[in-house]
Amino acid sequence: MRHAHAEWPGYCGEDFDRPLTPQGLADAAVSARDMREAGQLPVRIIASPARRTRQTAEIVAQELGLPASAVQYIDALYNGSISALWRELQQASASGPVLLIAHNPGISGLARQLARDAGRAPFAPAGWDRFTAPGR
């Protein structure tokens, strides 16, 4: 999942601290409800520690009824490369389905690789999909 829509370009602070917009807050909740309706229920969420991904993760966890302890923030996921995202996802998925919440371009690049579709469109804010990791 890509984090929901964040303040930009008018935000004057550091990129790491950019918050979700009101629309982003609403979109994160809608995406979580869509996941639940589709039967896509992670047992764990791993996310970038940036403010916008933290906010997205908190909303998704709440909407899915996951305890706060099911959410882990991992520094390597902040603007992480495809290989960094993949490495963290592999480690986290050993305990069951996991939701990864991160940033473009890495999250969309990982989705292209998992879908084996180089032409796949990038994730929009709050966009998500389900993949089965190779070898699982």
Reading the chain (136 residues) residue by residue, the pLDDT tens digits are 999 999 887 788 899 999 999 999 999 999 999 999 999 999 999 999 999 999 999 999 999 999 999 999 999 999 999 999 999 999 998 888 999 999 999 999 999 999 999 999 999 999 999 998 765 5
- pTM here? 0.95
Whether omega for the bond prior to residue 9 falls within 30 degrees of 0, making it cis, is yes
pLDDT at residue 135, as a whole number: 56
Helix (H, G, I), strand (E, B) or coil at 86: helix
Q: What residue ranges define each of the domains in the chain, with the CATH number in brackets?
A: 15-115 (3.40.50.1240)
Cβ pair 50, 18 in contact under 8 A: yes
pLDDT at residue 105, as a whole number: 97
pLDDT at residue 74, as a whole number: 98
